[in-house]
Amino acid sequence: MDCIITIDINTSAVKIHAFDMNGRMLSWKKGSYPTFHPQPDYSEQDPEQIFITTLYILKNLLNEYIHPKKYKVTAICFSSSMHSVLAVDKMGTPLGNAIIWADNRGIKEAEALKKHPKGENIFNTTGTPIHPMSPIVKITWLKNHDQVRFAQTYKFISLKEYVIKQLTGEYVVDHSIASSTGLFDIHQLKWNQDSLDFAGITADRLSEPLSVFNTNLFLKKEYCFTLGLPAKTTLIIGASDGCLATLGAGIVGSGKATITIGSSGAVRVAGKEVLKDKKNRFFNYLLAEGYYVSGGPTNNGGVVFEWFARQFGDFSEDLDFEDVVNDLFKEAAQVKAGAEGLLFLPYLLGERAPLWNANARGMYFGLNISHERKHFVRATLEGILFEMYSIGKILETHRNFDSIYINGAYASLPLWTQILTDMYGKTIHVNDHHDSVALGTALLGLTQLGVYSNLEAAASTVKSVETYQPNPKNHEIYMKYFEIFERLSHKLKDEFEQIVALQQGI
């Protein structure tokens, strides 16, 4: 029997799945690797460790499942997280670790680009919000602060490109990953000269951009041999995880949106056109040629609830972290919508969409003497979800959507889904798949292989297993609180700045 393998190189782990030709998942494995923070603002990963972990996991999946069951691998399709930058020398040897999306060292460079006469144009051409996460900003940082590395660099590539270079010997990047660099013209599908000028590089210091469906890539024969794969096994270059999660949620087409909450979060829509927002609050990334995924990312998803659990959870019985988190959910469920007047701003990590304010900070508001711990639990959860609602609300001014599909480790927890449903006042669907990125990657690969006629057809095979209906009463309550939430978030701009100045002075 035939199968397709998907490789997703995400922030904390590589996940490798096998699917049959109908998009049914057969088996999967993951292997994790760490993020290093040599300085508070820095987030880095070891490219060799990521490559070795990928190989190791791929080999295990093949040897323990695919080969014993006599599956034939028709193709391997790739996904990865966006925005990483790795400098390599002429030999392809990494110059230091990769700088990943969460790295904030380029705050000043991002501000400079925003104020630059061509800044707005660069944003509109490339679709990538101007932010320290963006590779154009990171490369500019290297130019300004690490001239030796900058001069030695033969190419600036992403972690996905590094893994593919190792496996095939080629420097190539798919249009989807390229569209998240701030360096790529998402309309004309080529490197953008204004961006290159700003970063101080020429196009030959980047990989060759290719269609996400590109298959003109082959595993080196040594890998075919050690992995037990036939010579010339097809590699499909694939796309970025955010775009593939959207495809995997089945929302290609109008009237649909998807909400993802893992440790961070995003609200996304997908369509044939870019989304234009006067305040530049949303990204436009390419899922495939002619398909744009637009939306807003938040820094403050599950990671904020984990922070809360660590500080205030009850560990007295030597419980494991997951148990403590679950106990907190039970506690939150006992409090009515609105947490009896306690409101939480979740901006512990600053915020991207919709505020785009790195200085935003968290706050509990409305505390009175009758509030108990359980109210804090509920308010924390609601604050995180108000933020997901605030992105969707602005997105809705550009695109109508009636159905919302949900994915990610946190969003699909029943309590979370119900609160979101009540906030939005719309039906929310939970998809029948534990990993939308893997499914999206498989659907893209299967479309390339001709199983589906196009991405819409592929997306239509995604089924939801559970539907949540809004409670109108709660919706009304949430809307009243949201008004305060939104006003506070904007009103406190000056105070956020002042408190951050004090925090940074410590």
Partner 1 sequence: MSQFILYQGKAKELSYFPYIIEFANYKIQNIQLNSHEIKASEGIKICLIVDGKFDWNIDGQPFLLYPNDVSLTCSWQTIGSSKGAYDIGALMWITIKPLHFEANGELVLGEWSSISETDQRVIGKILSLNKKPVLTRLKACQQIFQNIEVELFAKELGYRTRVNHLIDELLITAVRHLSKQDNLRRDFPQTFLKLEQTLRENLSYPWSVEEMAGLVGLGTTAFSEKVKAVSGFSPLNYLINIRISEAIKLLSRKDLSLTDIALETGFYSSQHFSSTFKKLTGYTPREFRKNTD
Q: Decide if 374 contacts 335 (C-beta within 8 A).
A: yes
C-alpha to C-alpha distance for 179 and 187, rounded to whole angstroms = 10
Does 400 contact partner 1 by CB under 8 A? Answer: no
Choice from 21, 25, 52, 488 touching partner 1 (CB under 8 A): 52
Sole window of 204-212, 319-327, 448-456, 467-475 interacting with partner 1 (rule: CB under 8 A): 319-327
Q: In this structure, how many other beta carbons lie within 10 angstroms of the beta carbon of residue 168?
A: 17
404 near 424, Cβ under 8 Å? yes
- Tokens (6 digits) for 222: 């040594």
Q: For the chain, how far is it from start to end, CA to CA, in angstroms? A: 62
234 backbone dihedrals φ, ψ, rounded to 5°:
-70, 130
Amino acid at 472: P
State which residue, 321 or 469, has the beta carbon closest to partner 1: 321
Q: Which of 321, 336, 454, 480 binds partner 1 (CB under 8 A)?
A: 321
Q: Is 59 in the site for partner 1 (CB under 8 A)?
A: yes
CB of 56 or CB of 65, closer to partner 1: 56
Distance in Å, CB of 275 to partner 1, minimum: 36
Number of residues that bind partner 1 (CB under 8 A): 35
Q: Is 23 helix (H, G, I), strand (E, B) or coil?
A: coil
Cβ 41 to partner 1, closest distance in Å? 18
Pick the binder of partner 1 from 10, 49, 124, 403 (CB under 8 A). Answer: 49
In whole angstroms, the minimum distance from the beta carbon of 22 to partner 1 comes to 27
Total residue count of the chain as it appears in this document? 506
Contact between 163 and partner 1 per CB under 8 A: no
25 binds partner 1 (CB under 8 A): no
Kindly tell me which of 59 and 371 has the beta carbon lying closer to partner 1: 59
Q: What is the DSSP letter of 204?
A: G
Query: Among residue numbers 114 through 133, which ones bind partner 1 (CB under 8 A)?
Result: none
Nearest Cα neighbor of 284 from 298, 268, 299 is 268
**Minimum separation from the CB atom of position 30 to partner 1 (A):** 5
146: helix, coil or strand?
coil
Site string for partner 1, 286-315 (x = CB under 8 A): ------------------------x--x-x
Report residue 461: phi and psi, to 5°.
-80, -10
Question: Does 63 participate in binding partner 1 (rule CB under 8 A)?
Answer: no
CA of residue 276 relative to chain centroid, distance: 21
317 binds partner 1 (CB under 8 A): no
Q: Is residue 227 at the binding interface for partner 1, with CB under 8 A as the rule?
A: yes
| Residue 433, helix vs strand vs coil | coil
- Closest to partner 1 by CB, 93 vs 193, is 93
Using rule CB under 8 A, residue 463 touches partner 1: no
d(CA 113, CA 43): 21
Short-list 146, 136, 133, CA closest to 95: 146
Q: Around Cβ 24, how many Cβ atoms within 10 Å? A: 11
Looking at the DSSP bridge assignments, the partners of residue 293 are 270, 285
Give the contact letters, 187-226, x = binds to partner 1 (CB under 8 A), - = no.
---------------------------------x-xx-xx
CB of 226 to partner 1, least distance (A): 4
Q: Which range in 89-97, 105-113, 114-122, 196-204 contacts partner 1 by CB under 8 A?
A: 89-97
Smallest gap, in angstroms, from Cβ of residue 132 to partner 1?
22
With CB under 8 A as the contact rule, the residue among 1, 320, 397, 490 that binds partner 1 is 320
Q: Is the dihedral of CA 175, 204, 182, 153 positive or negative?
A: positive
10 Å Cβ neighbour count for 221? 10
Q: Which is nearer to partner 1, 246 or 264 (CB)?
A: 264
Our finding on whether 318 is near partner 1 (CB under 8 A) is yes
**Smallest gap from residue 9 Cβ to partner 1 (A):** 14
My answer on whether omega of the bond before 354 falls inside 30° of 0, hence cis, is yes
H, E, C per residue of 300-317:
CCHHHHHHHHHHHCCCCC
Q: Which residues contact partner 1 (rule: CB under 8 A)?
A: 13, 29-34, 46, 48-49, 51-53, 55-57, 59, 91-94, 220, 222-223, 225-227, 310, 313, 315, 318-321, 324
